Chain A
Amino acid sequence: MKEPVMPGAVPNPLRNILDRRLPRIAGPSVLVLFGVTGDLARKKLLPAIYDLANRGLLPPGFGLVGFARRDWEDQDFAAEAHEAVRQHARTPFREDVWRQLSEGVRFVPGELHDDDAFDRLAETVRELDARRGTGGNYAFYLSLPPKLFPTVVKQLKRSGLAESSDGSWRRVVIEKPFGHDLESARELNAVVDDVFPPQSVFRIDHYLGKETVQNIMALRFANTLFEPIWNRSYVDHVQITMAEDIGVGGRAGYYDGIGAARDVIQNHLLQLLALVAMEEPVSFSADALRAEKEKVLSAVTLPEDLAQGTARGQYAEGWQGGAPVVGYLQEDGIPPDSTTETYAAMKLGVNTRRWAGVPFYLRTGKRLGRRVTEVALVFQRAPHQVFSHTDIEEMGQNSLVLRIQPDEGVTLRFGSKVPGASMEVRDVSMDFTYGQSFTEASPEAYERLILDVLIGDPPLFPRQEEVELSWKILDPIEEFWTKNGRPEQYESGAWGPASAHELLARDGRQWRRP
């Protein structure tokens, strides 16, 4: 006779560590979505919720409440959501799944500062608890500009929605940017921290999904092949790139005054730098990972001369991808004398034994050659060559490229003999693509995130400490830029301003063409 098992206790007797077929399913809960009429909600969040339901990962007792300044009834919102799902969902549309999901869909119209609206919201979620058995667990997704966070968070507190009782939970999701400098990041944190405990706050950087983080971790630490050369003895320098082919478009109002460095480098590129440069965490837990990332971020050094070690630019009028495009200063809603940069590049150091003397070059920009995010480790040249100079003339440096998006994968570049009687070595690529080897199109970053939030899985996303560390890296550069001159104009559709190319040329290096 086995030991009696207690149902409902931890661990669940029907879950067994050997039973890897059973997916983890979120418990009964309500997801409250602020800013539900926005692009993000329509293109990403609502489809992601449907995809989760379609994969059977949402509980039967699930409620979705939209909150926005629209004169909608529940059905209107459901119809909008239906449309969004049909258009953007990753998995095939199934009427049964949708019908079951839509039974839990509610809409609360109102303004963010309106007390009545939040009281109605509180009623709505309680009604869902009673009718759908959602168990009093609420997650709040703030798909809103950061300046509205304080209002919402205070309203959640006032209306009692933020308070949990008898075993139920409250969680809140906020999106980057987390402030615009160290001080504002701290202020924002104070507001959120006042109402929600740190483990209930999920900061999401949608560029850097959990999937990507785990892929990098697996590549670095599950293999023996890469770690021995992952240091200053073999690596010459590291290039981290995030290029966009679009301009600011509809984000003009938000973008001007923020710029490329705050928008992308502070969170996304510095997170990538941390993942690539960190030491092996003692375990795969969120805390251990965070500890290593914080260590390496605190070891990042700035170039001594910021004028020589950074570059910035604004895209100029021109042609891109076969179409004429306007320059940044001519975009709607951008003041013609704006000094906001749309391209930023910088050379950082990492002051650890592993990386001493290895420069990390970071760059990001809009209206560049194509949309790509990648990390390239460029290796040193062989210390001695038996081949003559002419034989290896066309050979570059070996490199290992982690392609983050699009078409996530890994490329290894090395020299190979050109077939034929003469001796000639030229670069070739060995290529691995996640999309080809495991075509289960990796779940959208948002699917992972929403599921993690509903399950309560500690996020791999940054906590406040990391956010503050990255502002400490960026603030001096922003300050220097504000005081010194204007961003240089660069040609749309090419790879950034001349000063950025000079930045590497001074070190005898050049940017990869991604």
Chain B
Amino acid sequence: MTLYLPRTTTSQISEALAAERHSVGGGAMNMVLTLVIVTDEADHYDAVRAATEAGREHPSRVLALIRRDPEAEPAIDAEIRRPGTSGPGEALLLRLFGPLGEHADSVVTPLLVPDAPVVAWWPGVGPVNPAADPVGRLAQRRITDALRAADPVGDLLSRIVHYRPGDTDLTWTRLTPWRSLLASTMDQPSAWVTAAEVTAEPYYPSADLLAAWLSDQLDVPVERKESNGPGITGARLITGAGDIAVRRLDGRVATLSRPDQPDQTVALPRRRASEALAEELRRLDADEIYEQTATHMASLLNRAGVGA
């Protein structure tokens, strides 16, 4: 069931939510977090959908802030999707008119689930300094997505300068299956790794992060090569005894080859937004490895004379 409250206020929205709770008993107490999505009319549909899917794993109150005409009179149009309509959580779509767009925090504050952590997500182009953003300031975890910017690598680099614990970027999250596979290849004895390569489509920050991560953890030179994609198409660890290579040309199934061993195939699908988001919501503490890797990436790219 969806409830429309045009030209409303946050207290009317709170009342509507409370009335809902009284009629069924229980309610928001089961929500584990508030997810604030800062978005626009074009992006909100996919974003709320991804959040709803992720909400099956993390029941949350989703607050989608959709900015409308900044010249209009200040007003809120609310659309409340009750629990059960879209998974176990509830979703509030708030269309903010006029100068309210600049003061979204005042709309968000009264609607946060008590005690539960707050996560802010910018599915489109995010703020350069998420922790200083009015909405970002309210959140323990701030999720951006550099891939959506016009210059993805530059966007990530300019944001990492302002890193605060709790910041994270989906270009890093999308990388987890790759990192996981590469790490597992090194669970078994292998020869010394002397260098590494990462091949991916151009302007793809995940690939630069992967290169930086390998370079940082293994302390070897890592070459970033370009291909036609999709996404990352290969990673290679060059060892004294031969290469450990992962190739994925179709964005779905990868081939793993190791010295003296038969080639193996492994499903390595590209991740959907909801999967990446669900992983982000799983841990709400600071991701030190992300900070370390992104900072290292910045220094590598600066040394090479590219990037921001």
Contacts and interface: CB of A to CB of B under 8 A. Distances in A.
Interface of A: 1-2, 4-9, 12-16, 18-23, 25, 27-28, 53, 56, 59-61, 94, 96-97, 99-100, 103, 130-133, 135, 431, 433, 436-440
B265 A60 contact: yes
Give the 8 A-B CB pairs with smallest separation, nearest first: A60-B264, A8-B189, A14-B183, A60-B266, A25-B184, A133-B261, A8-B190, A96-B267
A135 B188 contact: yes
Interface string B265-308: 11101000000001100010001110000000000000000000
Contact of A18 (B59, B188, B262, B289): B289
Given A7-B186, A14-B186, A439 B265 contact: no
A439 B253 contact: no
Interface stretch (B73-81, B154-162, B174-182): B174-182
Contacts of B124: none
A27 B32 contact: no
Given A8-B188, A14-B179, A60-B256, 9 more contacts: A2-B219, A8-B189, A14-B217, A21-B283, A22-B176, A27-B184, A60-B181, A60-B266, A132-B262
Interface of B: 26, 30, 32, 55-59, 88, 173, 176-177, 179-184, 186-193, 214, 217-219, 237, 239, 252-253, 256, 258, 261-262, 264-267, 269, 278-279, 283, 287-289
Contacts of B266: 60, 100
Query: Main secondary structure on chain B at its contact with chain A?
Result: mixed
B304 to A, nearest CB: 19
Contact of B218 (A7, A18, A97, A132): A7
B58 A438 contact: yes
Contacts of A16: 217, 289
Contact of B59 (A21, A94, A130, A439): A439
Contacts of A27: 184, 187-188
Contacts of B264: 60-61, 132-133
Contacts of B265: 60, 100, 103
B180 A20 contact: no
Contacts of B289: 16, 18-19, 21
Contacts of B217: 5, 13-14, 16
Contact of A25 (B180, B189, B193, B262): B180
A25 B183 CA distance: 9
A94 B269 contact: yes
Contacts of B186: 7-8, 12-14
B67 to A, nearest CB: 30
A447 B192 CA distance: 34
B167 to A, nearest CB: 15
A7 B264 CA distance: 21
A135 B256 CA distance: 15
Contacts of A130: 262
Contact of B258 (A2, A13, A23, A133): A133
A53 B269 CA distance: 12
Query: Main secondary structure on chain A at its contact with chain B?
Result: loop
A282 B11 CA distance: 50
B58 A439 contact: yes
B283 A20 contact: yes
Contacts of A21: 173, 176, 179-180, 279, 283, 287, 289
Contact of A100 (B183, B189, B267): B267
Contact of B191 (A8, A100, A436): A8
Nearest to A104: B264
A315 to B, nearest CB: 36
10 contacts: A7-B186, A7-B190, A7-B191, A14-B182, A14-B214, A56-B180, A60-B181, A94-B267, A99-B253, A438-B57
Contacts of A12: 183, 186-187
B183 A5 contact: no
A437 B184 contact: no
A97 B239 contact: no
A308 B176 CA distance: 60
Given A7-B191, A13-B186, A96-B253, A437 B219 contact: no
A21 B186 CA distance: 17
Contacts of A436: 30, 59, 88
A23 B180 contact: yes
A433 B29 CA distance: 11
Nearest to A54: B267
B104 to A, nearest CB: 28
Nearest to B240: A7
Contacts of A61: 261, 264
Contacts of B180: 21-23, 25, 56
B188 to A, nearest CB: 6
Nearest to B262: A133
B19 to A, nearest CB: 18
**Of residues B262, B279, B287, which shows the largest number of chain A Cβ atoms within 10 Å of its Cβ?**
B262
A432 B27 CA distance: 12
Contacts of A22: 176, 179-180, 183
A342 to B, nearest CB: 37
A25 B58 contact: no
A382 B214 CA distance: 62
Contacts of A15: 183, 187
Contact of B32 (A19, A59, A96, A437): A437
Contact of A437 (B59, B183, B258): B59
A442 B214 CA distance: 32
Nearest to A101: B267
B140 to A, nearest CB: 16
A131 B252 contact: no
Contacts of B187: 12, 15, 25, 27
Nearest to A6: B192
Nearest to B184: A25
Contacts of B56: 439
B109 to A, nearest CB: 24
Contacts of B189: 8-9
Contacts of B237: 7
